[in-house]
Amino acid sequence: MTTIIPSPDTLPVHWLWFQILLTFTFVLHLILMNLVLGGSLLAIGDLIRRKQPDAESKHIPVLIALTINLGVPPLLFVQVLFGNFFYSSSVMMSVYWIMIIPVLIFAYYAAYIFSKKFDANSLFGKISLVISTVLILYIAFMFVNNSTFSIQPEKWAAYLDRPEGTLLNLADPSFWPRYLHYMIASVAIAGLGKAVWHRFFNKNTEASEKEIRIKKNLKIFGIATMIQLIVGTWFWLVLPEHVSKAFMGQNLPATLLMAVALLSAMLLMMAAIRGRLMLSVVLGLFQVILMTVIREIARHTYLSGKFSPSQLEHVHQLSPLIAFLLVFVIGLFLLFYMYRLAISPKIKNSL
Amino acid sequence: MNYPIWYLPNTGGGLLIAIIAILHVVVAHLAVGGGLFLVLTERKAVKSNDAAMLGYVRKHTWFFVLLTLVFGGVSGVGIWFIISLVNPGATSALIHNFVFGWAIEWVFFIGEIVALLIYHYRFDKMDRSKHLVIGWLYFIFAWLSLFVINGILAFMLTPGGWIETGNFWPGFFNPGFLPGLLFRTAIALIFAGVFALITASFLKDGNLRIRVFRYSAKWMYYPLILLALTGFYYSTVISEESFRNVFHVNPESRAFISLFIYASVALFGLGLFTIVRMNSMLHKVLAFILVVISFGWMSGFEYLREIARKPYVLYGYMYSNGIRPGEVATINENGFLATAKWARIKTVTEENKLQAGEEIFRIQCLSCHTIDHYNGIRSRTNKLSERGIEAQLTGMGKINTYMPPFAGTQKEKKALAAFLYEVIQGKTTIPDKGYKPAELTTEYPAFDPQKNDYVLLVWNDLGMHCISDNEKYFSFLPPANTLNAQLFKRGPLPQVVTKNVKLVYEVEPMHADPEKHSMFWKYSREIFGAEIPSGKGLAGKSVNDVMDARGNYFAADLIPVVPYRDDDVYSPYPVFTVSAIDQTTGELLIATKAVTPVSTEMGCKNCHGGDFAWNGISGVSDETAENILAAHDRYNGTTLLPDAQKGRPRLCQSCHADPAVGAPGKSGILNFSSAVHGFHANYLPDMDNTSCNMCHPSAATGNTNCYRGRHAITGINCTNCHGRIEDHALSLLAGQSSIPQAKVLSANLVPLLARDKAAVNPRTPWLNEPDCKGCHTNFNINIDGFSGTAYNQWASGFNELYRNRTDNHGVRCIACHGSTHAVYGAQNIYEKQRDNMQPLQYQNIAGTIGTYNNCAVCHTVPMNANGHHRNMANRTDQVAIVQ
């Protein structure tokens, strides 16, 4: 079956560049995606308890814009490193995969409807929130299908009987614990994000109310992290044997990372429940980065023996990379400049 | 090949890309031009202290966010998704080459998004001057993202220096980069104007509304000159081949050229109404219509750009089906199914042929062809037989280069043809039943060497002649056999006689009424431009008539004899009795019989489908004729089929010059033989004389077997003199090098009998032909050897041709040696000695007149000198005769 793995193309520079860029930009995308999805789920939670969702939920559409934008680089770099796997699995589930596009458009518009109708407390707005969230859950569902299917070429023979693009990877024992783990992660990070928002960006609430909200959201973060420890362990244990064992001693750096991650999670849980914001932020960021790196190691381990990006040829064209880095730095500067302009107070009273 | 295929037999992946891409591209161009529109309009409003106009800008910004940020942004990702699904190989190639280009574009995207969000959400909360800076930054970021994606998109059509170097920079700054960027900038500005009308049409204040409409009109019309100039510039940087394909050759373009032209007229015509004051509802309708036309207009342009790129997805590097041009030769050897990673069948067997064919279709063809819808393969193959489909696959991409070549073994090609014919067309190939010719007997006149004073030698000039006998649709070979004769008065020094003698000829009774069996007379006005009297040929001769004396020979030109007898027997060798009569005394000097070979065994149906028209034995059927004309119309943009169906069939040579029928043709069009052979050689290469037999009535299993002379018996075939069809075509096309189409047709032909194309000597059909002297060194091969082929050694002109040449005494070579292609002793499938009647009559030996030391046939005494040519007298080696 390994002969059906498509031949990969050559890289312009050493593969580690892409691996690092992939991991770094994926962390950013993850954080924003968690804010959107977790924030939506928490808002729905409020609706279920017949409460008005928090005001910060109005920002979901802006966060969607940034999430989509920050999804571009990791999708780009994962195709550079693992394209021959990723494209194959995408084709095999193509109908579901391409549906992501209209689904995302609808989810995005629905979020705007929710945001615009927020103050009017309208039913249509609330329904839109639910629709948006369900659609985003679909997108996450399909991404988990694709990313797991892509690294298991031993399952690709199923395509030979069903080439219409309707295959999924639901029979994978790690699928549901994985999906659950990611969904709960979004709630956790959303809780942290809301706490941060209240401390640094909320100008409309008075201080004591802000403290209450910060503590409440940190609690959500902490409890979610506690659940994650259980779900995550379940997820870890149902991975293919050689992958789960890698983190149990077979791969020393991986095992160390996992140990640190478990420890950090527990510290994080305690800091959050105790309402320690800055510590939670630092540990939370650290945790997201660790989890992403562990995920990358797991991906490499799934494919070990069949493929490694380190075996990809590269032709050594550095100048485009340098051009990108230059543009990136200038871009950062301009983003910062625009932010400064945006927050500068309005002085003149003319038009 | 490398990747699995998304099986979309009804929609086709291309349509999905088109839908997502066109929707995105219109909005994306708006995102760029509209950015400039917003900031310039805001500035204008501020400068003139116009709060109402500023209010319009605020509203338009919100519309802009909802359309370009949400729909435009996600649909852009949508293109990425869909191309990865429909063509992962090309997507991977692009991504691996241009990853940092896209990374750079992403920086511009995030700048664009942040700028737009600030511009919208902080519209009234910032100092106006700072807000304008944000607006400008938005536009700059948006235009820069166009800059990047345009480079990569243009690369796909004009990869420039990247093809040699694989280097990012020449690939990005490729020949299409600048014209594309400028052209799309013009489009962006125009769309900014069009879409502004949508929000403007909702303005309740009529004065403001008309002001904004007129202002938007400037955005629509001022960039037009830039659009036209850069559009023209764009068309000059694509390759010659691309240009030719998209604008002249590929039928797929025609609809989109029309769409683009009509939409341009509609958009810029109706757009003029923007300056007219009207009520709000009419303004809304106008705005909506112009937006819809914009989508149609963009579709026309983008489809043409895509079609210009065919057969490639990455020009010169990868075909649309994922195969690389450099791989084709290896695939042809090792097999396509064996090479394609995701093929479910790996080799073709007799049992799995149809499934293998289907698998090949799925992996190699589905990328462009659906079954019944866009580019539907069913309608593309319904005018061909199974063998024709196989030929089509062989010739694919050689003349009309918008198709890639077929990649696979011969067996795989046949399997694909079988799948297309049997499964897709639902037809079955009926195996050849074989043909049993009628057994005919002819009595020929006696000859008494003691009493007869004359020898009459009569022959058909070409040795074979065909009739394209469906004049209802076309004609290129009318009923027109020519008989020539020489009359000799016998004696030690024989005399050629033409004075005072009348040569009367009469065909076999069953062939006496050709007008009952041919549509030639019915359509003679349409085809030949004149009413030809019934029963008469193009030179005025009928089948029973008198020959004309010309110099030292007699001729009856263009006798309209046909192979269909009154008793429904097919006989392609009707026999004429020719009698030489003394004009003074009326005495019969001598009579003899001669064959005029005339066949309707036109092999067109072998590829073009249909059956034999006349009793299932011979002749061009209506179905075949329609399919031929349909193919000609499709490839050349002619209207031959509809014209014929309206009762106006044409003579092919009315456009294609032809010395055989004396037609001058039209300038700039290949002569008939060059066109037919040049075209078909691409579809029937590498087949030795089998390709000749596919069209000409020379197949051993056919109803004519016209190639029947001595050479046929010794195992020499058509190609030994004429070359294979590739050689044959190249010699003709070399003689037409001033016509561009000659280069197109010969581009992929490889000569076998010449070192290379440059070594092929040009020839004019019917005038420069292979000649006996090419092989028969010094008139005796057995002593002086031969070169092995007469190819490329053409007779220099009409008088040098075998059929016209004489010796020093004015005796025609053909008179003694027999008709071309039926050189004595010939063998005829209808009657073994049918072609040898004159040698048998005069010397009882079915061989050259005078062979076996029979000079006395004419000389009345034995001869021992080489009177006519070398190596005649006292030959020690005797050549074969027919017993």
How many Å apart are CA B489 and CA B492, to the nearest integer? Answer: 10
- Report whether the peptide linkage leading into residue B825 is cis, meaning its omega lies within 30 degrees of zero: yes
Å from A176 to nearest chain B CA?
Answer: 25
Q: Running DSSP on this structure, what letter comes out for residue B572? A: S
How many Å apart are CA B614 and CA B587, to the nearest integer? Answer: 42
B6 → closest Cβ in A94, A101, A330: A94
Which of A139, A330, A334, A336 has the most B C-beta neighbours within 10 Å, making it the best mutation to test the interface with B? A334
- Which residues lie below 8 Å from residue B684, measured CB to CB, with a gap of 6+? B391, B394, B395, B691, B694, B725
> Residue A69 class from Cβ within 10 Å (0-12 exposed, 13-18 middle, 19+ buried)?
buried
From chain B, the residues in CB contact with A83 under 8 A are 88, 91-92, 95-96
Which of A89, A98, A314, A326 has the most B C-beta neighbours within 10 Å, making it the best mutation to test the interface with B? A98
Q: b/e string for B847-882 if b means 16 or more Cβ within 10 A?
A: bbbbbeebbbbbbeeebeeebbeebbeeeeeeeebb
Q: Taking CA B278 as the corner, what is the angle to CA B275 and CA B280, rounded to the nearest 5 degrees? A: 115
* Inter-chain residue contact A87 with B3, CB threshold 8 Å: yes
In this predicted structure, what is the pLDDT of residue A1? 44
In this predicted structure, what is the pLDDT of residue A346? 84
Q: What is the pLDDT of residues B375-394, one digit of tens each?
A: 999 999 999 999 999 999 99
Which of B23, B107, B131, B138 has the most A C-beta neighbours within 10 Å, making it the best mutation to test the interface with A? B107
A12 → closest Cβ in B85, B100, B128: B100
How many Å apart are CA B169 and CA B172, to the nearest integer? Answer: 5
- Name which of B602, B587, B609, B594 is nearest B561 in CA terms: B594
* Inter-chain residue contact A100 with B54, CB threshold 8 Å: no
- Which residues lie below 8 Å from residue A213, measured CB to CB, with a gap of 6+? A54, A194, A195, A198, A205
* Inter-chain residue contact A88 with B128, CB threshold 8 Å: no
The answer to whether B759 touches B793, Cβ cutoff 8 Å, is no
- Name which of B369, B384, B389 is nearest B311 in CA terms: B369
Q: Is B496 helix (H, G, I), strand (E, B) or coil?
A: strand
Using the Cβ of A88 and the Cβ atoms of chain B, whether some distance falls under 8 Å is answered with yes
Using the Cβ of A207 and the Cβ atoms of chain B, whether some distance falls under 8 Å is answered with no
From chain A, the residues in CB contact with B167 under 8 A are 317
How many Å apart are CA A41 and CA B83, to the nearest integer? Answer: 33
- Tokens standing for B771? 């000649």
Q: What is the pTM assigned to this prediction?
A: 0.93
- Name which of A34, A25, A33 is nearest A191 in CA terms: A34
In this predicted structure, what is the pLDDT of residue B879? 72
From chain B, the residues in CB contact with A166 under 8 A are none
From chain A, the residues in CB contact with B4 under 8 A are 88, 91-92, 156, 159, 163
From chain B, the residues in CB contact with A347 under 8 A are 127
Q: How would you write A9-78 as a 3-class SS string?
A: CCECCCHHHHHHHHHHHHHHHHHHHHHHHHHHHHHHHHHHCCCCCCHHHHHHHHHHHHHHHHHHHHHHHH
> Which residue from A minimizes the CA distance to B9?
A164
From chain B, the residues in CB contact with A330 under 8 A are 107
Task: Kindly provide the ipTM of the predicted complex, given to two decimals.
Answer: 0.96
Q: What is the pLDDT of residues A270-295, one digit of tens each?
A: 999 999 999 999 999 999 999 999 99
**Residue ranges of A 94-113 with Cβ closer than 8 A to chain B:** 94, 97-98, 100-101, 104-105, 108-109, 112
Q: How many CB atoms lie within 10 A of CB A121?
A: 9
Amino acid at A297: I
- Which residues lie below 8 Å from residue B142, measured CB to CB, with a gap of 6+? B31, B32, B35, B108, B112
The answer to whether A133 touches A189, Cβ cutoff 8 Å, is no
> Which residue from A minimizes the CA distance to B12?
A164
Q: Name B592's bridge partners.
A: B578
Using the Cβ of A48 and the Cβ atoms of chain B, whether some distance falls under 8 Å is answered with no
Quickly state the pLDDT bin for A203 (edges 50, 70, 90): confident
How many Å apart are CA B79 and CA B27, to the nearest integer? Answer: 13
Question: Between the CA of residue A153 and those of A11, A15, B268, B341, what are the distances in Å?
Answer: 22, 21, 54, 13
In this predicted structure, what is the pLDDT of residue B825? 87
How many Å apart are CA B659 and CA A191, to the nearest integer? Answer: 91
Q: Running DSSP on this structure, what letter comes out for residue A3? A: G
Q: Report strand pairing: B650-651 vs B474-475.
A: parallel
Using the Cβ of A150 and the Cβ atoms of chain B, whether some distance falls under 8 Å is answered with no
The answer to whether B123 touches B55, Cβ cutoff 8 Å, is no
Q: b/e string for B653-679 if b means 16 or more Cβ within 10 A?
A: bbbbbbbbbebebeeebbbbbbbbbbb
Å from B179 to nearest chain A CA?
Answer: 23
- Report whether the peptide linkage leading into residue B533 is cis, meaning its omega lies within 30 degrees of zero: no
In this predicted structure, what is the pLDDT of residue B773? 86
Backbone angle region of B205, left / alpha / beta, with phi > 0 → left and psi within -120 to 50 → alpha: beta
From chain B, the residues in CB contact with A6 under 8 A are 2-3, 88-89, 341
The answer to whether B206 touches B229, Cβ cutoff 8 Å, is no
In this predicted structure, what is the pLDDT of residue B864? 87
* Inter-chain residue contact B3 with A351, CB threshold 8 Å: no
> Which residue from B minimizes the CA distance to A90?
B85
HSE on the CB side for A73, CA within 13 Å? 28
With a cut of 50, list the residues of chain B below it in pLDDT: none
Enclosing H/E stretch for B558:
strand B553-559
Å from A324 to nearest chain B CA?
Answer: 5
- Which residues lie below 8 Å from residue B132, measured CB to CB, with a gap of 6+? B39, B42, B43, B46
The answer to whether B131 touches B123, Cβ cutoff 8 Å, is yes
* Per-residue pLDDT at A100 exceeds 70: yes
Using the Cβ of A164 and the Cβ atoms of chain B, whether some distance falls under 8 Å is answered with yes
From chain B, the residues in CB contact with A24 under 8 A are none
Using the Cβ of A336 and the Cβ atoms of chain B, whether some distance falls under 8 Å is answered with no
How many Å apart are CA B242 and CA B311, to the nearest integer? Answer: 9
In this predicted structure, what is the pLDDT of residue B506? 97
From chain B, the residues in CB contact with A65 under 8 A are 69, 73, 113, 117
* Inter-chain residue contact A69 with B108, CB threshold 8 Å: no
HSE on the CB side for A327, CA within 13 Å? 22
The answer to whether B342 touches B3, Cβ cutoff 8 Å, is yes
The answer to whether B22 touches B299, Cβ cutoff 8 Å, is yes
From chain B, the residues in CB contact with A334 under 8 A are 111, 137
The answer to whether B176 touches B156, Cβ cutoff 8 Å, is no
- Tokens standing for A18? 């892409």
Amino acid at B796: S
Which of A81, A329, A332, A341 has the most B C-beta neighbours within 10 Å, making it the best mutation to test the interface with B? A341
How many Å apart are CA B340 and CA B358, to the nearest integer? Answer: 14
First-to-last alpha carbon distance for chain A, in angstroms, is 68
Q: What is the pLDDT of residues B698-735, one digit of tens each?
A: 999 999 999 999 999 888 999 999 999 999 999 999 99
In this predicted structure, what is the pLDDT of residue B456? 97
Amino acid at B638: T
- Tokens standing for B684? 């029937």
> Residue A40 class from Cβ within 10 Å (0-12 exposed, 13-18 middle, 19+ buried)?
buried
Q: What is the pLDDT of residues A45-89, one digit of tens each?
A: 999 999 899 989 999 999 999 999 999 999 999 999 999 999 999
B77 → closest Cβ in A9, A68, A323: A68
From chain A, the residues in CB contact with B85 under 8 A are 87, 90-91, 94, 97-98, 165
* Inter-chain residue contact B127 with A331, CB threshold 8 Å: no
> Which residue from B minimizes the CA distance to A8?
B92
Please give the interface size between A and B, counted as residue pairs whose CB atoms are below 8 Å apart: 204
Enclosing H/E stretch for B553:
strand B553-559
Using the Cβ of A173 and the Cβ atoms of chain B, whether some distance falls under 8 Å is answered with no
> Which residue from B minimizes the CA distance to A18?
B99
Q: Running DSSP on this structure, what letter comes out for residue A245? A: H
B103 → closest Cβ in A73, A87, A156: A73
* Per-residue pLDDT at A2 exceeds 70: no
A97 → closest Cβ in B69, B81, B95: B81
B7 → closest Cβ in A164, A338, A348: A164
